[in-house]
């Protein structure tokens, strides 16, 4: 495993744009909730021109390393601007450290970002502030940066930055993913888990930004997490369009279950087997043990979802409750949902699960519901086959 914060200041995005971010292999939970076995990248960039702009900072634990990267990229020069696109601490924590070293630099950000800056830090009156609005420009020389406000993607102060000289979009948290840059993994899986968990609630706002981006000639996308994207950009833009419009990526079924003594698990496994026998793509999640964020991401990835749960305190198993809460909070919609319930004296899980999703848009519930009374019986086999036939 590489040392904390691999040195990356020599990574060129273009001749004038250098990557000065860091890799974090010490973090176990991003934002205190998302498992990141591949670590995280905190991205920052330097634009070298007649005047120099540094794009964002990094997490507080990597300030000294990041400043070393910036200094090496500057080659003896001093920066004129610090552009702050997003005020979450994994990107903004080192603003005071930067200003301590480069007090003459102007801070460029939206008005809401400056308000948050004063909440996070105690910056002196001597700090040079340059508030910018949507469409404002910053002239560095050859590079004339244009700012694109992106409120609620996924904080209200966010802006993106477009460089028409090199056709680069600095996309803030947009187009980011989990995982450090020195970890080889499929982009879509970790980007989907990242997007659905962190940005997914704000689909309409993402759609607005995509419409703005459609008018720009973009050759490279520089996010604040994950790799610089520069090939087959239509693929990444297409996924974001699909994710933010809540359309399924693929036809398939997610079977998510919560089970106490294994009987509900057995029903879920039997349904998955029946579906696969019918040629259906199936992903199965034990909500008590598997990564909840991955289960949520796949629920958005596929066209159908089956919820299998035991009755618990006249409602649902706590893990199923958490799963359904997250789905509803992230605007789950446009899906078909099947239900499997279990109960020994008063099975009400199906009714409770349906109720928790009733505010979600365009949810179609399968006509066939499987009701297990304590343990699987022959009649349940017939119910499962009927549900599988309907879903297939």
For 40-65, the pLDDT digits (tens) are 999 999 999 999 999 999 999 999 99
| Per-residue pLDDT tens digits of the chain, which is 392 residues long | 233 333 344 589 999 999 999 999 999 999 999 999 999 999 999 999 999 999 999 999 999 999 999 999 999 999 999 999 999 999 999 999 999 999 999 999 999 999 999 999 999 899 999 999 999 999 999 999 999 999 999 999 999 999 999 999 999 999 999 999 999 999 999 999 999 999 999 999 999 999 999 999 999 999 999 999 998 999 999 999 999 999 999 999 999 999 999 999 999 999 999 999 999 999 999 999 999 999 999 999 999 999 999 999 999 999 999 999 999 999 999 999 999 999 999 999 999 999 999 999 999 999 999 999 999 999 999 999 999 999 99
pTM summary value: 0.92
List of residues 6+ apart from 245 with CB closer than 8 A? 203, 207
242-269 burial: b if 16+ Cβ within 10 Å, else e: ebbebebbeebbbbbbbbeeebbbbbbb
Strand partners, 292: none
User: Distance between CA atoms of 190 and 81, rounded to whole angstroms?
Assistant: 32
User: Distance between CA atoms of 216 and 355, rounded to whole angstroms?
Assistant: 43
**Which domains occur in the chain, in start order?**
11-244 (3.60.15.10), 250-391 (3.40.50.360)
User: Distance between CA atoms of 194 and 340, rounded to whole angstroms?
Assistant: 29
The 3-state DSSP class for residue 120 equals helix
């Amino acid at each position: 495993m590489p040392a904390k914060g691999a040195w990356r200041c020599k990574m060129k995005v273009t001749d004038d744009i250098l990557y000065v971010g860091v890799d974090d292999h010490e973090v176990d939970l991003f934002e205190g909730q998302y498992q990141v076995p591949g670590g995280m990248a905190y991205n920052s960039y330097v634009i070298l021109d007649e005047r120099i702009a540094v794009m964002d900072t990094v997490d507080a634990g990597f300030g000294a390393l990041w400043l070393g990267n910036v200094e090496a990229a500057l080659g003896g020069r001093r920066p004129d601007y610090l552009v702050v696109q997003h005020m979450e601490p994994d990107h903004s924590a080192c603003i005071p450290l930067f200003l301590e070293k480069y007090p003459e630099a102007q801070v460029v950000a939206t008005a809401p970002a400056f308000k948050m800056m004063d909440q996070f830090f105690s910056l002196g009156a001597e700090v040079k502030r340059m508030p910018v609005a949507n469409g404002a420009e910053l002239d560095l020389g050859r590079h004339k940066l244009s700012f694109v406000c992106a409120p609620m993607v996924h904080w209200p102060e966010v802006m993106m930055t477009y460089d028409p000289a090199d056709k680069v979009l600095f996309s803030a948290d947009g187009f980011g993913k989990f995982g450090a840059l020195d970890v080889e993994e499929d982009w879509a899986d970790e980007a989907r888990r990242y997007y659905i968990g962190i940005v997914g609630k704000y689909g309409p706002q993402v759609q607005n930004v995509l419409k703005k981006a459609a008018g720009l000639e973009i050759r490279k996308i520089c996010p604040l997490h994950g790799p610089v994207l520069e090939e087959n950009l239509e693929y990444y833009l297409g996924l974001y369009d699909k994710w933010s419009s809540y359309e399924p990526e693929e036809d398939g079924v997610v079977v998510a279950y919560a089970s106490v003594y294994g009987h509900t698990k057995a029903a879920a496994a039997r349904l998955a087997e029946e579906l696969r026998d019918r040629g259906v793509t199936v992903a199965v999640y034990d909500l008590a043990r598997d990564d909840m964020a991955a289960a949520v991401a796949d629920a958005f990835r596929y066209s159908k979802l089956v919820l299998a749960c035991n009755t618990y305190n006249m409602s649902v198993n706590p893990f199923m409750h958490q799963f359904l809460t997250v789905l509803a909070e992230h605007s789950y919609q446009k899906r078909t949902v099947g239900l499997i319930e279990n109960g020994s004296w008063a099975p009400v899980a199906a009714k409770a699960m349906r109720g928790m999703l009733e505010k979600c848009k365009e949810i179609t519930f399968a006509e066939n519901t499987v009701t297990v009374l304590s343990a699987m019986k022959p009649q349940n086999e017939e119910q499962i086959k009927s549900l599988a036939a309907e879903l297939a």
